[in-house]
Amino acid sequence: MLNKIEIFNMAQAMAEHAATRQSAVAQNIANADTPGYQSRDVASFSDTYKTQTDGGLTATRTGHILPGEETITAKIRIDPTPGTESPNGNTVSLEHEMLNATDVKRQHDMALTIYSSSLKILRTTLGQ
């Protein structure tokens, strides 16, 4: 039932995006001293969500055929705005990664807040 309500889909996609970005931050920190390692990051959630939901098909009747499951996925990519390159070619900045980790926590907390607030509204609407 909850997978049919768009706000719950968005909250789930936001939490998954935060998890993917946390993975990128962890990889960057783990490879902070690896020669030639390029810093990685994930496109912003708004860009990812907008790209994958705009112009998408929607089934308005049971007979409609959709191309597949609609999932919002973010991909880890080389950071387009890397930090200063060290002499060994590494572009990871630990200070920048600490800021990214804080931003990821904020995004994950926001996704949980959206989910729990929407759930409270749904429960209130149902009278429970």
The DSSP code for 83 is -
List the chain pLDDT tens, one digit each, 128 residues: 556 788 888 899 899 999 999 999 999 999 999 999 999 988 888 877 777 665 555 555 666 555 444 555 677 888 776 668 888 889 999 999 999 999 999 999 999 999 999 999 989 988 86
Question: How many structural domains does the chain have?
Answer: 1
d(CA 128, CA 121): 10
pLDDT for the residue 4:
72
Q: How far is CA 16 from CA 22, 24, 81, 123, in A?
A: 10, 13, 23, 24
Rounded CA gap, 19 and 8, in Å? 17
What is the predicted pLDDT for the residue at 68?
47
- Structure confidence at residue 3 (pLDDT): 60
Q: Can you give the residue range of the structural domain that contains 50?
A: 2-126
